[in-house]
Structure 1
Amino acid sequence: MKTAYIMISNRHIHLTREAVDVLFGKDYELTVKKPLGYPIFAANETVTLKGPKGTISNVRVLGPMRPYNQAEILTADNFVLGINAPVKLSGSPDLAPLTIIGPAGELKLESVAVIAKRHIHMSPEKAAEYGLENKQLVRVKIAGERALIFDETVVTFTDIPDPTMHIDVEEGNAAHIKNMDIVEILP
């Protein structure tokens, strides 16, 4: 059986060095609240997302800093903010605009908000063992009280030791699953 662990994420934001300088102050360094698997961590720092219709406060910054800014939001957040963030993989272009507000300043970004497309991180070696390729779409079976099958799940190659599927809180709640539950990858 081909399996993966589940990791569920809430809305959060990834920032560049330049964005951190504007939002928190020149040469500010993010501080670790909780490790999420080396080198990724939840920072103590938060920002406010502002759209044309509303705001969402206390959005967690994830570190380390990235080469691009990206706010990963939930589907329901589109209604609160008044935007239409697309469902795409992390790092994709052509995202929704938002203003990001920090304690030291704000940034109006034209392409920053996305609803993260569900995906499974795995090493090329594990993918070969499973007979999968990078960027391949697979289905994932969730067992339990609210069993379901997630279609359109993207395999992404990384160097993590165990296959790990990333979904957002809304998807996790729909399937009644929690972090580190094991799911089955279907052909």
Structure 2
Amino acid sequence: MNNKAIQTIVEEVMSRLSQETEKKHSVPMAVSARHCHVSQSDLEVLFGEDYKLTKKADLSQPGQFAANESITIVGPRGSLEKVRILGPARTMTQVEVSRTDSIKLGVKPPLRESGDINGSAPITLVGPKGSLYKKEGLIIAQTHIHMTPEDAQSFGVGNGEIVEVKVDGDRPVTLGKVLIRVSSRYKLEMHVDTDEANAGLITGKTTGTLVKNGEIL
């Protein structure tokens, strides 16, 4: 075997190793459009007594699904129709929108971790059987990464930690203040809203690279 052939083989092996390393340390991304989580009691106000959500499609996170049901959300300036409900029903009602959505509604929801709705913005929900006003519950969700304890150990991060994520592509961006959320119930995936996705031309096939203290993880 001549030197040229050996060099070609070495280059192929190095390329494969590089691709495997990149894949191992990259995070798949998903675009989270406006949606809501509802409590069972609020669901019954909107859709009728003893109503149960029906599944349209499973989501990537285990046990979560997009329901067939949707509602209209109404603010002081405007409304958004066909806002998808995600199931199953929760203990509290929460609506997640983008900054662009909030401008159309005429509200100023805070940037919050999902589940932290204390003192958040008010919103009116309208369903086929009724409507209700929630004095809090509307947020812009903080960009976050779901991961298992094994993923967290591999990346060297912990639950509640904040990192940056580099996104390469036609419009490279770096997203800061990305929250790490760790649970054995999760599957590795980063969630961005539609504003962030549009800024970085992010799709469901995009991956990101974690950066902590200036170092790639």
Smaller-chain TM-score range?
over 0.9
Q: Among 38, 55, 68, which residue is 1:44 paired with?
A: 68
The answer to whether the aligner puts 1:107 opposite 2:132 as a matched pair is yes
TM-score (norm 2): 0.83
2:54 to 31, 35, 47: 31
Which amino acid counterpart does residue 91 of structure 1 have in structure 2? G
Contact persistence 1:133–1:155 (CA under 8 A) = yes
1:68 maps onto 2:92 in alignment: yes
Alpha carbons 1:3, 1:163 under 8 Å: kept: no
CA distance in 2, matches of 1:163, 1:31: 26
Alignment of 1:79-98 (within 5 A): 79-92=103-116, 93-98=118-123
Q: Partners of 1:49 and 1:11 in 2: how far apart?
A: 10
Q: How many angstroms apart in 2 are the aligned matches of 1:162 and 1:53?
A: 38
How far off its partner does 1:110 sit?
0.6
CA-based RMSD: 1.3
What is the distance in 2 between the residues matched to 1:39 and 1:159?
A: 12
TM-score, length of structure 1 as denominator length: 0.95
More strand by share: 1
State the AA in 2 paired with 1:26.
E
Q: Which has the higher helix share?
A: 2
**What is the DSSP-based 3-state SS (H/G/I as helix, E as strand, rest coil) of the residue aligned with 1:159?**
coil
State the structure with bigger RCO (CA 8 A, min sep 6), 1 or 2. 1
Give the conservation status (yes or no) of the 8 Å contact 2:122–2:133.
yes
Structure exhibiting the larger radius of gyration computed from Cα positions: 2
Tell me if the contact between 2:46 and 2:129 (Cα under 8 Å) persists in the aligned partners: yes
Indicate yes or no: 2:116 matched with 1:116: no
Alignment partner of 1:7 is 2:30: yes
Kindly state the Cα deviation for residue 182 of structure 1 after the two structures are TM-superposed: 1.7
Instruction: Tell me how many residue pairs correspond in the alignment.
Output: 187
